[in-house]
Chains A and B, each alone.
Chain A
Amino acid sequence: MNIIRYILRRMVLSAFVVVGVTFLVFTVAQVVPSDPAALYAGPRPSAEQIAKARVELNLDAPLPTRFLTFASAMATGDFGVSYKSRRLILEDLKAYLPATLELAVFSTAIALLFGVPLGVMAAARQGRWFDRLASLSAIASVAMPTFFLAMLLQLIFSQWLGVMPLSGRTSREVGITDPVAQVTGFLLIDSLLAGRPAAFGNAMLHLILPALTLASYPAGVAMRLTRSAMIEILQRRHITAARALGLSQRRILFGHALPNAMGPALTVIGLSFAFALTGAVLVEIIFAWPGLGRYVSEAILAKDFPVIAAVTMVVTICYVVMNLIIDVAQALVDPRVALT
């Protein structure tokens, strides 16, 4: 019963948060010092053009009315038109979102694959040199600025060693001369659907550096969280019992201790996903990755405010939903969570 009440409460709170987020994005949109109508009307507009734009954008309506219009437009996916390109923002989002999600899924997987086992091994060798080294690299990966790591990887692996492509989602030969038919927008899936292993390999190769960049921070956090959870669990009695039974160290660590430390792993999935979605803003411009991040950073330079607001809304709502799912999963895995 407790769990159901907990889940319901979390859902109500999330709904409240979504309303709050909408309100906040709308409020920030109101304090733009540069006149949105002037931006909308194009370069060097006349007074009439600005007046016309004000009517078109409904800027003269009272604030509460404008908020309701804004909220209902957001709810129906009507994000308006980009000031700069005059294209529908919704169409742009559909085109760019898959590339960013591909990156987010991959970096999350890498973060877990490296972070969790390293955390387990560090906990098993607590205080020894392996633990210290792993802990230090975890701190370093958290302290590393994402945009600088991206450039460093480019410098080392593309420029100096020449083993990785510098940027882009595919090579020019695949991307322009012989593009893969778009079905899902996820290039890895599309190239497999088209039965083209070479294009798949090419896309994979382009994915590695940006995904590694985005995985570094969450991998460090995953390592530290897993390590501290494991250290606590390894002192419990059922581990001593397992030791007394003569089970191998590996079975104790991965069979008996790690399942109890799944809470942090779930937390990391959420964190890593969120980090990939925001970090994309920094990483995608460096790797010329055609995703949401590059879309936003171009919008920043062009002061294309509706685009920035739309992406903030979409990513934040993804983030809220993700957090809700993880909270619920955590309560199902560990019912004690619901008691607090």
Chain B
Amino acid sequence: MRRVIYRLGWPGTIALLCVMGFICMALFAPWLAPYPAQGAGAPNVVAKLSPPSADYWFGTDHLGRDVLSRVIYATRISLSNGILIVGFSLLIGLPIGLAAGYFGGWVDEALMRVTDVFLAFPALLLAVLMAAAMGPGFLNSVIAVAVTWWPWYARLARAEGMVLRGQPYVEAARLAGVSHPRIILRHILPATGRPLTVQAALDVGPALLTAAALSFLGLGVLPPDADWGQMVDAGRKFFPARWWYSVAPGLTIFLVALSFSVLGDALRDRTKGPSRASA
């Protein structure tokens, strides 16, 4: 613990704990939620839209469900949304970027121009276009965001591939007659793993923000499932008079995204060298 604090600094450590806390919230939702049945979607019409109280810490929604329980259950969808977006994006971006960086020449030029086209779109708008074309739903919204997300990994992987291509051990492998796909898969991919996984893990926060925006526009999960963005949107009909309905999930999105970016900053400072560790 002490070593973690020393390495990440206090803000980074708190952020790390928050991220771990949210992951626990997703895993143990049925045990943590005060009203598990309502969290899963069962209505409770006797307590429609009641303000925050000792019984319902964050108030209740238009079907009388405890907003806190709903937020805790929504963690499962929102977090897996973020993780899947990053996962899908790596799946597309990594091979394309590594191939571009490793082969260079016209392969690089062609792949990177395609990447440029995707980067030319304002990300949210392309995601909206995709999601609108495919219709709302959990998997569709993941794919829609991943389509706008992968070019960043393609660029990162390309830079890595270009550096590693010239490494002696890669040249040795090539002289030994190892095929190109095998070199990329067995010799280059493992070496790019570390910097990219750190980046990817931190991107779960921003990815989740974009996914929340799609849900807010009605392009994410459909009721009775809920994620945070969709809850904020559902609460908008009763806003601002019944503000708690939207404020609780909104603040949660903010906290998760904040934790990821503070953690990201702490890690980035750490890699810069020991001089800043004291700051």
Contacts and interface: CB of A to CB of B under 8 A. Distances in A.
A300 B132 contact: yes
Nearest to A139: B261
B257 A143 contact: yes
A144 B258 CA distance: 8
Contacts of A319: 120-122
Most buried by B among A136, A147, A154, A279: A147
Contacts of A166: 240
Given A145-B250, A145-B257, A147-B232, A127 B279 contact: yes
Contacts of B75: none
A145 B240 contact: no
B120 A20 contact: yes
Given A31-B134, A139-B258, A155-B239, A148 B253 contact: yes
B59 interface: no
Nearest to B116: A17
B13 interface: no
Contact of B121 (A23, A142, A286, A312): A312
A262 interface: no
A124 B267 CA distance: 24
Contacts of B138: none
A279 B130 CA distance: 17
Interface in A250-279: 274-275, 277-279
Interface string B117-142: 11011111110111011110000000
A66 to B, nearest CB: 16
Interface string B228-239: 010011001001
A339 interface: no
B69 interface: no
Interface in A299-319: 300-301, 303, 305, 308-309, 311-312, 315-316, 319
Contacts of B123: 278
A16 B120 CA distance: 11
5 contacts: A24-B118, A159-B243, A275-B122, A286-B236, A316-B121
